[in-house]
Structure 1
Amino acid sequence: MAQHVRDIMTSHLVTVEPQTSVTTVAQKMRDEDIGVVLVTEGEELRGLVSDRDLVVRALAEGGDPEQRTVASACSGDLLTVTPDEDLDQAVRLMREHSVRRVPVVDQGHAVGIVSLGDLAIERDPGSALGDISAAKPNQ
């Protein structure tokens, strides 16, 4: 059984700059079949935007999604973990802060993301969330 965040984190990261349009971010999510994108400025992690953030913070507010930037939809107050963080500690943090995904940062640089789905696959693969998370994406 995995003991550290690095053992289960997703290391394929998709990043965008804060001035990227909401439409472009949504297209990246579709094309990459992902539900979260990291918002970076240069090498610095500035935020995280999920598919839900796009709907609740951008689209529901109205306006032109081509003109609205991802900066207006992203979560800027980030909780992060390190690759060497104990998985139990990561779970505690996610529960305490009610978050589904957490960027993994090593020496100030984003190196991965750990999600509830990753944890379910590792800790409870027979659960509904574990099954869904391990399944091939719908196309």
Structure 2
Amino acid sequence: MVLNAEDIMSPIPSPLPEDLDVASATKLMAKDHRGYVLVGENSTIKGIVTEWDFVSKVMATGINPEKIKLGEIMSTEIRSVAEDTPTRKVTVIMSKNGIRRILVGKNGRFVGIITSRDILRIFEDYVENVENVAGKYGLL
């Protein structure tokens, strides 16, 4: 059985407004246990801000996070895959582009997100299945 992007994706959180200050956004990231926030309005996503954006564009430069807006530090180049993209291809795209998150699209809109944690979860399931099969044949 081949798993596709739709099989491992998580629902996308509601985007935050571009004019929200970074300090408030990082509090939401911590509360929701996410390493990112999506930026936009309604269901339109314009960008993403990750924990790396916060560290490299705010903290490392000494900018007060209460004085800078998400729209000023968001990455607007959003990588995405179609819902029927095989998981293997998703992992290759993420690896080759050095990204830990990728959005999933369906019918012209984003419907989910895949993170490196989602990939690790399916890898864990795969290893468990291999161990079970190997155990049946006395290979462990």
Normalised by the size of structure 1, how large is the TM-score? 0.80
Question: Shift in Å at residue 14 of structure 1?
Answer: 3.9
SS of the residue aligned with 1:95? Answer: helix
1:70-101: CA deviation from partner (whole Å, max 9, x where unpaired): 12222211111122211111111111211111
Aligned letter for 1:57?
Answer: K
Query: Are 1:102 and 2:102 counterparts?
Result: yes
Superposition deviation, residue 2 in structure 1:
5.6
1:58 corresponds to which residue?
58
State the Cα distance separating 1:12 from its structure 2 match: 4.6
The structure with the largest alpha-carbon Rg is 2
Q: Does 1:15 find its partner at 2:22?
A: no
Asked if 1:33 is matched to 2:33, the reply is yes
Q: Which blocks of at least 5 consecutive residues in structure 2 are unaligned?
A: 128-140
CA distance in 1, matches of 2:34, 2:2: 23
Q: Of Structure 1 and Structure 2, which has the larger fraction of its residues in helix? A: 2
Report matched runs for 1:41-120 at 5 Å: 41-120=41-120
TM-score (norm 2): 0.80
Indicate conservation of the 8 Å contact 1:58/1:72, yes or no.
no
Q: Share of identical aligned residues, percent?
A: 24
The Cα shift of 1:22 comes to 0.2
Gaps of 5+ in 1: 128-139
SS at match of 1:19: coil
